[in-house]
Structure 1
Amino acid sequence: MWMYLGLLAALFLGLHNLCKKHAVQGNEVFPVLFGTIFSGFLFLLPVYFGSIFYEEQFVKMNLYIADIPWKSHGFIAIKSAIMASSWVLAYQALKHLPITIVTPIRSAGPFFTFIGAILIYQEQPNFLQWIGFFLIIFSVILYSRIGKSEGINFKRNKWIFAIIGATFLGASSGLYDKFLIQNLELYPQTLQFWFCFYTVLILLIILSITWFPFKEKRKAFKFRWTIVAVGVLLVGADYFYFKALQDPDALIMLLSAIKRSQIIISVVVGGLIFKEKNKRKKLVPLLGIMIGVGLILYS
């Protein structure tokens, strides 16, 4: 069951990536990021108040946001700091790079998660899983070569380093999620609500330094409906992902790889919508990544 929940998370993430690309194009990055997280927070707010005033009904619907100790709040705040840093880097990169380059590099995230799962959680991969993960990494290298033909130098372009850093932080957060869900036994909706709350606070601090004081930047910001859509879709993706992690048999390294199937939507549909270059060439490494994910699922 947890694998199917992972595929649902991938579906929501694929749509989330398309909306995110539209939201940041020619727009101020930090207010867009804040708008997406704040939209997700507002989406969860009725669940929080419902848990206070209609506890029994929300428990039956498996949507109850439980009271948690301050220690747990501290752990969630750490996750918020990690993901806020990852998103700041990722949104900046997405603004300056094609989605068909950014998304495949993000696909390397399972490799970092894979190593962490072995070292931290002692998850044991088999032969096919090794092949699958290295096939994903090799395919990402192919994408980098295609990127050069679009005038993107992977050694000199700072946005490439930004998306690599974002990928590493995102993978670290994925490993941390297993600790929060299984060790601290947090319910998905409880983790989501407080994660959004603390992330909003962090982004407000960033905006107060980089955006609010500058009148020209405030005028340059354009509100788009996709900003709200990104926040809601992210809440949906995280909910299914955290529900999958609740299963004690769930392997974080496999879940991380399954989520990469989102690239079908991001690369194929996104390439058509945003009319990006070399779509046919990018289908070759895309196929490699999909075979890698398929091997992991098959194994």
Structure 2
Amino acid sequence: MWMYLGLLAALFLGLHNLCKKHAVQNNEVFPVLLGTISSGFLLLLPFFIGSIYFPEFTKQLGFYITRIPWKTHGFIFIKSMMMAASWVLAYQALKYLPITIVTPIRSAGPFFTFIGAILIYNEQPNVLQWLGFFLIIFSVLLYSKIGKKEGIHFKSNKWVFAIIAATFLGASSGLYDKFLIQNLTLNPQTLQFWFCWYTVLILLVILSVRWFPYAEKRKAFKWRWTIIAVGVLLQTADYFYFKALQDPEALIMLLSAIKRSQILIAVVVGGLVFKEKNKRKKLVPLMGIMIGVFLILYS
């Protein structure tokens, strides 16, 4: 069951990436990021209020937000710092790189997760899972050659390094999620609510230095409906992902790889919507990623 929950998370992440590309295109990155996280927080806020004043009803809905000790708040704050840094880097890179290049690089996240899953959690995939995993990684590497044809040289483009750093931080956060969900026994909505709250606070600090003092940047910001859509889709994807992680048998390295099937939406639909180049050539490594996901599911 946890594998199929991972696929649902991938579906909403793919839609989330499309909306995110539209939200940041020719726009100020930091307020867009704050708007997306704030919209996710506002989506969860009624459940937090309901958990205080109508606990039984909220429990029946399955969205009860539990009270947690301050130590647990500290652990969630660490996750917020990791993801805030990852998102700032990723959003900046997405502003200057095609979505059909950014998303495949982000798809290398399972490689970092793979190393951590073996070293930290002692996860042991079977032969088919190994094949599927490395097929995904190999397919992602093919995108770097295609990217050069679009004038994007991976060795000298600073935004490529930014998206790689963002991917590493995101993968580290993914490993940390398993600790938060399974070791601290946090339910998805509790983790999501407090994570959003602390991330909003962190982003407000960043914007107070990098955006609020500058009138030109404030005027350059354009409000778009996709800013709200990004936040809602992200929280929906995270909910299914965290539900999958609640299963004691869930392997974080495989969940991370399954989530990368979001690339199907990003490359096919995104390539058509944003009219990016070399869509047909990008279908070759795309098929490799999809076959890798299939091998993991089939196993």
TM-score w.r.t. the length of structure 1 is: 0.99
Report the alpha carbon displacement of residue 134 of structure 1 after superposing the two structures with TM. 1.6
Equivalent residue, structure 2, for 1:251:
251
Is 1:151 aligned to 2:151, yes or no?
yes
Equivalent residue, structure 2, for 1:5:
5
Q: CA-to-partner distance for each residue in 1:134-163, whole Å, 9 max, x for gaps?
A: 211211111000000000010000000000
Unaligned runs of 5+ in 1: none
Report the alpha carbon displacement of residue 234 of structure 1 after superposing the two structures with TM. 0.5
Report the alpha carbon displacement of residue 294 of structure 1 after superposing the two structures with TM. 1.2
1 CA distance for matches of 2:140 and 2:59?
A: 43
Is 1:173 aligned to 2:163, yes or no?
no
Q: Which amino acid aligns with 2:212?
A: F
Equivalent residue, structure 2, for 1:114:
114
Question: Identity rate of aligned residues, in percent?
Answer: 82
Equivalent residue, structure 2, for 1:128:
128
Q: CA-to-partner distance for each residue in 1:186-227, whole Å, 9 max, x for gaps?
A: 010000000000000000000000000000000000000000
2 CA distance for matches of 1:11 and 1:104?
A: 15
Report the alpha carbon displacement of residue 291 of structure 1 after superposing the two structures with TM. 1.0
Equivalent residue, structure 2, for 1:291:
291
Is 1:229 aligned to 2:229, yes or no?
yes
Q: Which amino acid aligns with 2:24?
A: V
Q: Which amino acid aligns with 2:216?
A: E
SS of 1:198's partner is helix
13-22 vs 136-145, which moves further: 136-145
2 CA distance for matches of 1:41 and 1:178?
A: 22
Q: Which amino acid aligns with 1:97?
A: L
Report the alpha carbon displacement of residue 76 of structure 1 after superposing the two structures with TM. 0.1
Q: CA-to-partner distance for each residue in 1:56-92, whole Å, 9 max, x for gaps?
A: 1111211000100000000000000000000001000
Report the alpha carbon displacement of residue 261 of structure 1 after superposing the two structures with TM. 0.9
2 CA distance for matches of 1:39 and 1:168?
A: 25
Residues 272-291 of structure 1 correspond to what in structure 2 (within 5 A)?
272-291=272-291
1 CA distance for matches of 2:262 and 2:211?
A: 32
1 CA distance for matches of 2:294 and 2:8?
A: 16
Equivalent residue, structure 2, for 1:239:
239
Equivalent residue, structure 1, for 2:195:
195
Question: Which stretches of structure 1, 4 residues or more, deviate above 6 A after TM superposition?
Answer: none
2 CA distance for matches of 1:198 and 1:108?
A: 27
| Root-mean-square deviation (Å) | 0.7
Q: CA-to-partner distance for each residue in 1:161-192, whole Å, 9 max, x for gaps?
A: 00000111000000000000000000100000
Equivalent residue, structure 2, for 1:91:
91
Residues 38-49 of structure 1 correspond to what in structure 2 (within 5 A)?
38-49=38-49
TM-score w.r.t. the length of structure 2 is: 0.99
Q: Which amino acid aligns with 2:251?
A: L
